[in-house]
Structure 1
């Protein structure tokens, strides 16, 4: 937990600089692939994901260490070759987990967030799930377990394997010659994120593309079929927490409404997108049929709302940086504090992304978040030990909570008036 937090303190600024760098490069080249609100939504998803991971809010049904202890046939030495084996094993496992996430209704809920952006850029790589409570990933590491690859090697290689999947989420790199035959390139991954009929459910590879070629899921990017990004049932929100549970909510409602007891149970393991016939007829869900004429989700946003959204996400980045850098000391103060802090982060993201959606209830979530923050300050007289850095910090944090409440209220009132004016004109 603490070690991962320290790693993220280095990784987060690097990823943010690369995302902003891609935005500037796109503007310079006259090929902008980043929209501001979508980028903030993507970054916010990344915030919720790393917060969840650092707090350890998931359970491994089968741990890799258990597999090694029970099933290892040999034990390879801890050498450079061991790390190569571990990397290949992780990539093999990643291919199959990724493929299953796409192919089964229940598992798709864990992956929908990653495909929810209707743009394709480095920021969307950060859209990662918070909805996975029970992890089954380790079972696909069976080849490494049989060879007795030490768990510590997997623990070291896994973050590197994950971070290596960031770079190819871009439209600014064309096909890469002979590398197209070996590794996953931006061209391959553009296909994977596309909703064109020719591209759906292709190119599951994470680092190496030959898994797709071996297992029949490979598709080349076609010059006459420009990829269109997103999901066929668009999410229509900037709120990453809502997106994470949107598909699960639909499955629960469909299972409840269908009159067939067989369908109530099999809906979970049917192919992704399958719905009971009686429910699909009575409760239709919008689905994109003509991908080349789809309208991307967007909301009317003033310059001031764009600026305020950046202020909010910057504040959350500062809050989680403090959390990741001080997990051990916060845990010493009270073991429950890090989970209260995590709740605060999630409420923050929920509140400002609701405002980005122009949802009038954004003020309710903002009040809940800020009341929690002020309650922490009043109860402890501090912000999780920040007084050790400066006694002034708690007053700055308190002032932010008050200011944030009034600014959000102002935006909600402004949006309400604008929407009423549109209704009157119509």
Structure 2
């Protein structure tokens, strides 16, 4: 976990620089692809994911070292060959894992967050799951294990493979000529994120588009079919924690409500979107039918509120970066507490973005607890060793959080969430 945290020390600034570049480019060409609430929600989703992963909050059903121990029949000696084989094996496994996520009800729950944005930009690339609690990806790496690819190489390449999927989440890059036949491009991935009937469940590859072409899931972006983004059952919230478990909650409700014992069991493993007939008739769920005219999710805002949520996002970036920088010094107990406070903060300010009344109490409680910890310890997880007044700066942040949540809940003119035409 610590090595992943160290990698994020460099990855987070890199991602933010690219995001700022895309936003700036859209501003200068007067074709902005970002909206404040949507992008803050997307980036915040990425933060929940890295908190979960860096703290090791999950259950590994089958580990790659275990498979390697019992399945390896050879060991590749040539260094560059083993790295190449490992990367291709990870990409192949990623394709089939992605395909499972799109085709099986229970697996869709851990992937829906990535498709939930109704925009398509670099920020939406950061919509990564916290609902993938059970780790089974190693099972898809059996070919690598049989060939004896060392675990250390897989451990190094896995995050690189993930980070390499960031760049093609953009609308500002057109088709790339002959590269379209080799790697996944922005054009291909726009198709993947689209809800147009022509594009659903297409282009599932991560790096090499050859898998889609070989296994029949490739679709070119069509000039006369502009991609429309989101999910057919809209999330209708900015809160990434809620989005992560919406589909699971629907499945649980359907499994409880259906009178068929067979359906109670098979609903989890049926194709994505399948529902028992008796439940489907009695409890209909609204699904987007007109992809060009559906209502996009919006909530009331103001320039001051936009500044406030961006402020919350930037402080969250700073807190997480400090946590990763000071990972070993903070210790496991401190990391769990630190991560929980940041996680609750994300839940709180994204609930405030949804204009939920309960958000103020979450934020007041979090802010009060943070200030109390600083008054008690006269520090904030060792930050004073780097900045003499570091803990008090964090205390000021918590005070702003308390005052801001109260103001935007009770004093700024507020309206309920609305749906605006696309």
Match of 2:140 in 1: 140
1:361 counterpart residue number: 358
Does the 8 A contact of 1:344 with 1:372 survive in 2?
no
**CA 1:280/1:117 → structure 2, altered by over 3 Å: closer, same or farther?**
same
The 8 Å contact of residues 300 and 415 in structure 2, kept in 1 or not, is answered as no
Separation of aligned partners in 2, 1:14 and 1:318: 14
Matches within 5 A, 1:13-412: 13-77=13-77, 79-331=79-331, 335-412=332-409
Question: Aligned equivalents of 2:168 and 2:328: distance in 1?
Answer: 35
Deviations 1:374-414 (A, max 9, x none): 34324433211222223422222222212211111010013
Q: CA deviation at 1:78?
A: 5.3
Distance 1:77 1:357 in 2: 55
**2:297 aligned counterpart, secondary structure:** coil
C-alpha distance in 2, partners of 1:275/1:173?
Answer: 38
For residues 292 and 86 of structure 1, what CA distance do their matches in structure 2 show? 42
CA distance in 1, matches of 2:225, 2:299: 28
Task: Give the whole-Å Cα distance in 1 for the aligned partners of 2:5 and 2:24.
Answer: 29
Matched-pair contact (CA < 8 Å) for 2:239–2:347: yes
Q: Tell me the distance in 2 between the aligned counterparts of 1:395 and 1:184.
A: 47
| 1:37-75 Cα shifts (integer Å, max 9, x gaps) | 111111101111111111111222111111111001110
Secondary structure of the 1:297 match is: strand
Q: Which runs of 5+ in 2 are unaligned?
A: none
Structure 2 distance, partners of 1:42, 1:403, is: 23
Q: For each residue in 1:126-176, what CA deviation from the matched residue of structure 2 results, as whole angstroms up to 9, or x when unmatched?
A: 100011111110111111111101111111111111111111111111111
Conserved in 1, the CA contact under 8 Å of 2:63 and 2:138? yes
Q: Distance in 2 between matches of 1:84 and 1:337?
A: 39
Between 63-72 and 24-33, report the one with greater CA deviation. 24-33
The offset of 1:20, in angstroms, is 1.5
The DSSP-based 3-state class of the residue aligned with 2:268 is coil
Q: Secondary structure at the match of 1:172?
A: coil
1:419 aligns with 2:415: yes
CA contact (8 A) 1:78 1:150 kept: no
Work out the CA distance in 2 between the residues paired with 1:344 and 1:266: 38
Offset from partner CA, 1:88-127 (integer Å, 9 cap, x none): 0000000000000010110001000000000111110010
5+ residue gaps in structure 1? none
Contact 2:76 2:149 in 1 (8 A): yes
Q: CA RMSD in A?
A: 1.4
2:300/2:414 contact within 8 Å kept: no
Change in Cα spacing, 1:301 to 1:84, as seen in structure 2 (3 Å) is: same
CA distance in 2, matches of 1:361, 1:29: 40
What is the SS of the residue equivalent to 2:379? coil
For residue 79 of structure 1, report the CA deviation from its aligned partner: 0.3
User: In structure 2, what is the Cα distance between the partners aligned to 1:376 and 1:112?
Assistant: 36
**Cα pair distance change 1:254/1:375, threshold 3 Å:** farther
Q: 1:172 to 1:146 in 2, by over 3 A?
A: same
Matched residues in 2 for 1:252 and 1:368: separation?
Answer: 31
Q: How many residues align?
A: 417
TM-score (norm 2): 0.96
